[in-house]
């Protein structure tokens, strides 16, 4: 697998690409990255990663509200359905876990939606940071609550 990285307002992001240049994973923390590297062979390619770096820099510079990158998702059909619902959350807005569950016609699957969010391979691109608790509380985030707050703040959301 190929990877590249870029420094952002929330720290060092690393992303993994397939040989054909499609995006497969975004890592927000060293912990998850190190676990991935222990189990996979990776080589760095700044050339293949350039369009991804550029779009992340535009997002963090508040010049971009969405991403236009080729990607390949691996997950269950429920996870993919949940991740697709994340893309329907407009920039600068939030939805609750229960709203996401209802939007995919699974109103009782609130915890499953939360779990699918925790397994999201393309955070920020599939904006799970925009999903909050029903009472407007910030709940778990793979990069931590502070990172979630920063991402929401970039989009003009203060909770």
Three-class SS of residue 5?
A: strand
Any idea which residue has 């990877």 for tokens? 3
| CA pair distance 20, 78, nearest whole angstrom | 26
Active-site entry in 17, 128, 132, 151: 128
| CA pair distance 102, 135, nearest whole angstrom | 16
| CA pair distance 85, 79, nearest whole angstrom | 10
Q: Is 6 a catalytic residue?
A: no
Give the dihedral sign, CA 77/119/82/26. negative
CB 129 within 8 A of CB 123: yes
92 backbone φψ class: left, alpha, beta (φ>0; ψ -120 to 50): left
Quote the distance between the C-alpha of residue 130 and its chain's center.
Answer: 10
Catalytic residues, which ones?
A: 128
């Amino acid at each position: 697998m190929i990877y590249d990285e870029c420094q952002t307002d929330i720290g060092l992001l690393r992303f993994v690409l397939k040989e054909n240049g499609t995006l497969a994973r975004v890592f927000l923390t060293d912990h998850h990255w190190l676990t991935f590297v222990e189990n996979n062979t990776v080589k760095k390619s700044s050339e293949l990663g350039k369009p991804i770096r550029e779009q992340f820099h535009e997002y963090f510079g508040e010049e971009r509200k969405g991403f236009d990158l080729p990607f390949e998702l691996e997950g269950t059909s429920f996870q993919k359905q949940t991740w697709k619902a994340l893309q329907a959350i407009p920039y600068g807005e939030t939805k609750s876990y229960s709203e996401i569950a209802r939007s995919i016609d699974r109103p009782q699957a609130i915890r499953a939606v939360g779990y699918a969010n925790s397994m999201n391979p393309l955070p920020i691109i599939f904006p799970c940071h925009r999903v909050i608790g029903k009472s407007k509380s910030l709940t778990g985030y793979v990069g931590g609550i502070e990172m979630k707050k920063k991402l929401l703040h970039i989009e003009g959301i203060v909770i």
